[in-house]
Amino acid sequence: MNDFKALLASADQGHMPSTAYDTAWIARLGELDYEMSNRALEWITEHQLADGSWGTSELYNYYDRVVCTLAAMTALTRRGRRARDRMQIEKGLIALEKISSQADYQMTNDPNGATVGFELIVPTLICEAENLKIISHQGDRILGRLQMKRARKLSAMGGAKINRYISAAFSAEMAGTDMLGVLDLENLKEANGSVGHSPSATAYLAQNVQTEAEVMDYLRQVITPDGGAPNVAPFDVFERGWVLWNLALAGIDTPEILAQCQPQLDFLEKAWKPGRGIGWAAGYTPKDGDDTGLICEVLARFGRPVDFEALFSYEQEKWFRCFEHEANPSVSANIHILGALRHAGFPAEHPAVKKILQFLRETRNSSGYWEDKWHVSPYYASAHAVVACAGYAPELVEPTVAWLLETQRENGAWGFCIPTAEETAYSVQALCVWRGHENEAVKEPLKHGAAWLEEHQEPPYPALWIGKCLYLPELVVRSAISSALEMEKKGSVICLS
């Protein structure tokens, strides 16, 4: 319980370690803020990986390494002046060539695992890297062919422009220097001076288009004391929502805790837009089905009013969407909307519920699990599906529970690539909910998993969440770990209502 007291007290603008991608964009801004740029450049030089690339260090994700290494190499080539910088550039060149040589295999075998805006952002980075002689001309190689794909996509906008009302603003750097005309500059910035709450998109705007004081002020606020920058800031709704969701799942409902939850719930209600829902931050203009579904469920679990008009505004013919104009639906967004409908009292026979369940049947793979575009691990979406369906539509997730049990490691942990506390927490949460509906067969795996998690609950945690690169919402992960340990210890699930 003390863990949740600390988490509730800490949840505010969003806690996230820096990323190489966003830091590299700020490192370019030497002519606008020499001191800030130098701090970011120093962060880049200190976070080069052993193989010469940049990106999350705990596991290898191709898309993450491409965007982070291209961005870091470009910044270092433009601004690096020391002998040390030249040595790092040489090492980076070797890593870039190796990464480029993997493009055909990686992008063909994992086309759906791309980071946000990959096929639109990477061509601009490649073009710049080619002009700086960092890499050779990509031509007909698969990374080079992305140039044509980007041009077709941006041309297909038919005169429509990117502004703060659509999610594409988060990746505004996709416009590069050759297609600035697709940006609606008068309506691009958020009230806090950012472009889409993205440090990289905001730094891009400052470098190439606008250098108003509010733009630079935003960047100075988000850069950390050591010179790094996060993938998104702030994300105050997202962080609060997940901390409260994990708390509710654990069934911690003492008067003291509930009193501490009220200001956070008040914040979420104030950020809510009637009929539209909510986004990942109170000041972020676009709203989305994933955060709307999550916050709907949180409000329902804590007995607050639920805006069903907003929830159903995301309904499509065969699923619920996350964002307008999305290329493919999000599995996790539909799972979270399902959880919201369930806890708001909708029966499993309701047409909207049946629609989501059918969508999930069609997207579950033959092994019994789901993959999602917002998280690299299938344990994230799959565990949340079990939580949403146990005792509600259990037949859908019976194969998923079997998969969870089959993939538990000998040491008790779970992890798709490496054992992690985050993935283990999701799995323990799911099995605790399954056990809570009189499924005692999971009792021993749960004890084994919780014992490992108890020993490995402290940070650092690997970055498993998908943005323009991989990122880590630290309090969200910590709250999932605390929730899982509390649930296993209590031996049952108590749902707040």
Q: Residues 473, 15: contact at Cβ < 8 Å?
A: yes
Reply yes or no on whether the pLDDT at 320 is more than 60: yes
Condensed to tens digits (0 to 9), the pLDDT of residues 126-152 reads 889 888 888 766 555 666 677 777 877
Mean model confidence pLDDT for the chain: 92
Q: Which helix (H) or strand (E) holds 465?
A: strand 465-466
Reply yes or no on whether the pLDDT at 239 is more than 60: yes
Structure tokens, 281: 């931050």
pLDDT for position 70: 94
Q: Residues 465, 375: contact at Cβ < 8 Å?
A: yes
Q: Which helix (H) or strand (E) holds 132?
A: none
d(CA 295, CA 149): 36
Buried b (16+ CB within 10 A) or exposed e, 13-40: ebbbbbbbbbbbbbbbbbebbeebbebb
pLDDT for position 233: 98
Q: Residues 74, 131: contact at Cβ < 8 Å?
A: no
Taking the mean position of all CA atoms in its chain, how far away is CA 337? 17
Three-class SS state of 315? strand
pLDDT for position 354: 98
Reply yes or no on whether the pLDDT at 273 is more than 90: yes
More confident residue, 23 or 160: 23
What residues have CB less than 8 Å from 362, skipping those under 6 apart? Answer: none
pLDDT for position 436: 83
The arithmetic mean of pLDDT across residues 181-192, rounded, is 95
Condensed to tens digits (0 to 9), the pLDDT of residues 224-234 reads 999 999 999 99
d(CA 251, CA 261): 13
Which domains are delineated in the chain?
Answer: 20-222 (1.50.10.160), 235-490 (1.50.10.20)
What residues have CB less than 8 Å from 430, skipping those under 6 apart? Answer: 382, 383, 384, 386, 387, 390, 400, 401, 404
pLDDT for position 494: 43
* CB-count burial class (<10 Å; 0-12, 13-18, 19+) for 9: exposed
DSSP 333-386: HHHHHHHHHHHTT--TTSHHHHHHHHHHHHHS-TTS---BTTBS-HHHHHHHHH
Three-class SS state of 198? strand
Condensed to tens digits (0 to 9), the pLDDT of residues 69-126 reads 999 999 999 987 778 888 998 999 899 888 878 877 777 777 768 899 998 999 999 8
Q: Please tell me the pTM assigned to this model.
A: 0.95
Q: Which helix (H) or strand (E) holds 470?
A: strand 470-471
Which of 413, 409, 410, 416 shows the shortest CA–CA distance to 379?
416
